[in-house]
Amino acid sequence: MKRSDRPAKSAPAPKPAAKARAASAPAAKAPAAKAPAAKASAPKKAAGLPVRRAIVGLLGGIGSGKSTVSEAVARRVKASILDADAFAREALDVCARDGRLADALGSWAVNADRTPNRKAIAAKAFDQASVLRALERLTHPAVTARIEDAIEDHRMGKGAPILMLDVPLLIEVGLDRRCDALWFVDAPDEVRFARARARLKLTPDDVRKREAAQAPLDRKRARADVVLDNGGSLAALEAQVEAALRTLGA
Ligand code: ADP
């Protein structure tokens, strides 16, 4: 059966475990970005659950806990976390420096020190589709190339056995077809909004606008092999991550 035909299933929840952390900027912030290093990184200490080599695509709304899930994975197995938002942020930095950002959007988009004026860009990008498209045209080629390289390396047997793809437009650009498993991180809107407000200083309206630039969450949930319920405690999430990883067992 093709993965896309399979119904999503929730990972069973065994015993609780540790804690998690935060990440950063909003998805679709086309060129938006997320905190941790753009370079996929193997954790210092991974518990070593038996897993086969696999690419896991992460799906879920802003503030649902995708970065938190990545970190929980990396504490348990050797994993590389690919953060497309971080790639996009770096690509935008380059475009600000070499003048392409000012050419595409106007001088308002670049600070005097030739860094992107992210606040102004974000404010416009999610109100004006043309600005979002222009940003995507600037950053997507570089981001896509880096993702393709990471996938290719993984397929060639290089690096950690698990590659986690935290890519806001994963389904929209067809990367879901390159994944061995899709995990949807689920949390009620009000919980996500509270997290997004605390961590990203985004209002519910900001979150809605950013998510409007992506495929609907229902569609993403329906594509998933595993649904992780992150409406509760971190310990409950960690337990589900552990169970989900066991489904990738060797
Ligand atoms: P995403 O990557 O999906 O935008 P994050 O993983 O960055 O979401 O989580 C958003 C914020 O919520 C972070 O500050 C994170 O530490 C926090 N968080 C995630 N899951 C939980 C949870 N179960 N309980 C409490 N805080 C959580």
Tell me the per-residue pLDDT of 237-249, one tens digit each, with 9 for 90 and over. Answer: 999 999 999 999 8
What would the mean pLDDT of 115-129 be, rounded to a whole number? 94
Q: How far is CA 84 from CA 31, 143, 144, 166, 172, in A?
A: 9, 7, 9, 6, 14
CB 206 within 8 A of CB 38: no
Residue 28 confidence (pLDDT) above 90: no
Give the pLDDT confidence score for residue 26 in this predicted structure.
Answer: 32
| 77 within 8 A of 241, measured Cβ to Cβ | no
Closest-CA residue, ligand 1 atom 13, reads 22
- CATH architecture of residue range(s) 50-85+146-248: 3-Layer(aba) Sandwich (3.40)
Tokens 């938002």, located at residue: 85
Q: Is 195 in the pocket of ligand 1 (CB under 6 A)?
A: yes
Q: Is the CB of 60 under 6 A from ligand 1?
A: yes
Q: Is the CB of 111 under 6 A from ligand 1?
A: no
